[in-house]
Each structure stands twice: as structure tokens, then as C-alpha cells.
Amino acid sequence: MPISPITLQRRHAELGRIRLGNQVATQSGRTRPNKLEHFRFTSPSEQYIRDLANLYGGEARQWDNNGKPEWEVFTTAQSIPVIVVKGGLSQWMETWSGGGCTHRCDGQVGVDGEPCDPEDPNHLNAKPTTRLSVMLPELEAVGVFRMESHGWNAAAEIPAVAELAQFVGELVPAHLHLVERRVVKDGQTSRFVVPVLDLHIGAQRLREIVAEKSGQALPPAEGAGALEQGQRAAIEAPRPDYLAQAQEASTIDTVRAIWKKANDAGHMTDQLNAELKQVGDALLAAAKAAQQPDADGAFEAEVVDDGDADAIWQQVLLAGGRREMSTEDLTEDFAAFSGGVTASTASAAELSAYLVHLADQAVPA
């Protein structure tokens, strides 16, 4: 039996890193950080890096990670498919030095729970640090690659999308892009690349999530990808009280029309079906009781317009179901009753006569 996740916080194995920059040598012999326009992957696994090079371009090569032998590849990809995992996001304001992290807080309170000193240089120099761990579905490996960004744009945009993914599921397909942004300040244009996370969820699923969390559905989308007008109307309009409408009806035809309307709108339920049938049965019984037999003691069968044939056949199926008759049973019985006429070609009058015939048959106890 696995240890309870309350006792042991589970996490995915980290297989490597998705890097947005590298270190380049300067004329003084030192190094400086350099931002990239394409994804760079690093990992202790040579095989993973070679596979990623085959997937996204570039050449796999050895890399010295501060004394740890690893592998890296500078790809030609600016967009890669990923899977967002639950709990894969963390974000802090951090300050680092040669000795490691010297300050970590949420902007006001440190990880130790103590308020930050606003005059502390480590606090003043802290940078937003956004870490996102994702799976790479095209790589034959089970685990995550971690991306780390120190930009304000990524700090503002990625968490909102990653948090939305938590409402979608444990594993959410997405794409990770490197998108160029431009800012003009004091007449100077600055170009920089920002990581952007794009979830693969449709508009309808997004609307469902909002409805679940807010208790109120968003207005339907317009234009491309919008729902068909009939579907939008079904979502927007309150569900009619079909039972109340049927109870006010004076003829079986009206009840049948109400049944068809509810069925076409996708509002039919087993309970509503039974309630409408009960109203219809009562109207049939009342109509039959009000009729006077002819000289031979027979009652005139009810006649309905041909346009209602489909609705009447549905009533036949319901009446037959209560009598434990399958669709095949009803089809054969109707053919025998009508002298060889098939149910698919029968008129509304013929189906109505058969419906009256079924009404006279006992319902199994």
C-alpha cells in the first residue's frame, strides 16, 4: 500500500532543464549571462539530450555544469509540446551569490515566515524566479524537465496559466513558446524573448471551468468556434416547465408536441418522460370515456396529422416499454396490427390507431 500523500509529498523525477540562456565569455576572461531565442536543454543523461537533438534540432555535446559532467543541446525550436503537471509551478523573489541563495521571499514575507527587512540589500536585489516543471510527451522518458525564468513578464503570465491548468486535470497538454516582445522606451527599442505557456483546452472546457468555480456561466462566444445558434439558445434560455405545459394541454396531440420539443432540446429525462406519459395516458382515458360507441359498440380511433408520425412512434415505444416490449417486438406487432404496413412508412393516423390499441393492453404488474 503506498504511503499517504499527506505524509509523503509526491513529485516527479527531474530529468533535466529547459534553459532560456547560457554563459558566454567576455574579453576580460570572465563570463556573462546571454539570453537565447531558442530552447536549450541540459541533462545528466546523454541519451535524453541526443533524443532531444533529433526531435528539435541542434547537436548534443558534453557540458560542464560547475564541475558536474552533463550534456546539452542548443535546439532550433521556439515552440515545443509539453504536459503541465499538477504542483509543477513555484515562484519566489530570490537573490543568489556564489555561495548560493542568500534570500528567498514572496515579496513581503520570507520562507521562514518572518517579514522581510525592506532595507536589506538582499531583499532589494531579489529577482522574480519562476520555475515550471513539465513533461515532454515526445521524449521517451517518464519525468519532468524544469524551466527557470527570472523575467517579470514570465513571472506575471506563466503562473496564471499554470494555475488554470490545475482546474483542468493532473496532466494537461500544452505548448511552451518563446515569443519575442518589443518595448520602446526613451526612443530606444528593446527586444527580448519571453516564455509563454499555451494550454490545449477548448473554449467550451474553459467555460465549464469558469462555471464550476464561479457558479455562473460566461456568455456564449461569438464568431469562429462559437456554438450553433440553437445550442446557444439551449444554454442561455431557462429550461421550460414541460410538465406544467402538458398539464394545461387539452389534447393528446399537444402533449406529444411538448414531448417532442423537450426531446429535441435535449431536456428529456426518465422522470420527465414518465410524467408526460402519465399526463398523456390521462388525456387518452378521458377522451375514450367521453366517446360514444357506434352501432357495433366500437370507438372511433384518434386521427393525427402525418407530420406527428415521429412523435407518435416515440409514444408507441414508451407505451411498449411499459409493457415489456422491445422495439423489435413493437415493429412486428405493428406490422401484424396494420396488415403489413411497416412502422417506418406508417402514417400518423395508423400509428395513432396502434397507440390506442396498445393503451387497451394490460401493463405487467
pLDDT value of position 89:
86
DSSP 167-207: HH-SEEEEEEEEEEEEEEETTEEEEEEEEEEEE---HHHHH
User: What was the pLDDT predicted at 138?
Assistant: 92
What is the pTM (predicted TM-score) of this model? Answer: 0.54
Confirm whether 212 is domain-assigned. Answer: no
Task: HSE, CB side, 13 Å, CA atoms: give it for residue 52.
Answer: 31
User: Where among 201, 231, 252 does a domain terminate?
Assistant: 201
d(CA 284, CA 70): 83
Q: How many helices (DSSP H) and strands (DSSP E) are in the chain? A: 11, 10
- One domain, residues 170 and 104: yes
* Cα–Cα distance, 68 to 202 (Å, whole number): 43
Q: Please say whether the beta carbons of 316 and 333 come within 8 A.
A: no
Q: Tell me, what's the pLDDT at 1?
A: 43
Q: What's the first-to-final CA gap in the chain, in angstroms? A: 50
CB 257 within 8 A of CB 308: yes
Q: Note whether residue 323 is domain-resident.
A: yes
CA 278 to chain centre: 38
- The answer to the question of residue 19 being in a domain is yes
Q: Are residues 133 and 260 in the same domain?
A: no
In a domain, 9, yes or no: no
Q: How many domains does the chain have?
A: 2
354 located within any domain: yes
Give dist(CA 161, CA 153) in Å, integer: 13
Together in a domain, 177 and 283: no
Q: Nearest CA to 147 among 197, 200, 182, 104?
A: 197
For residues 144 and 275, state if they share a domain.
no
Closest by Cα among 20, 22, 60 to 44: 60
Residue 235 maps to a domain: no
**What is the reported pLDDT for 231?**
43
Quote the domain boundaries for residue 255. Answer: 242-359
Distance of CA 152 to the CA centre of its chain: 29
Q: Note whether 189 and 247 are same-domain residues.
A: no
Tell me, yes or no, whether 256 and 327 share the same domain: yes
- From the list 265, 222, 225, the residue with the least C-alpha distance to 245 is 265
Distance, CA of 22 to CA of 58 (rounded, Å) = 15
Single-letter amino acid, residue 160? A
Give the span between the Cα atoms of 270 and 345, in whole angstroms: 28
> How many degrees, rounded to 5, is the angle at CA 215 between CA 210 and CA 218?
45
Task: Give CA–CA dist 42/49, Å, rounded.
Answer: 7
**Pick from 144, 174, 201: which residue ends a domain?**
201
39 and 129 inside one domain: yes
> Are residues 349 and 293 part of one domain?
yes
| 192 and 137 part of one domain | yes
122 and 48 inside one domain:
yes
Residue 7: inside a domain, yes or no?
A: no
Domain co-membership, 154 together with 51: yes
pLDDT at position 62 = 95
- The amino acid present at 131, given as its one-letter code, is R
Residue pair 42/17 in contact (Cβ under 8 Å)? The answer is: yes
Nearest to 318 by CA among 359, 347, 346, 282: 359
Say whether both 158 and 303 belong to one domain. Answer: no
Compute CA distances 163 → 14, 88, 157, 175, 213, whole Å. Answer: 20, 10, 10, 15, 13
Backbone torsions φ then ψ of 35, nearest 5 degrees: -85, 140
Is 233 inside any structural domain?
A: no
Query: How confident is the chain (365 residues) per 10-residue block, as mean pLDDT?
Result: 43 87 83 87 95 95 91 94 88 84 88 87 89 91 90 80 75 87 74 83 65 60 46 48 77 73 72 79 68 49 48 75 76 76 72 73 63
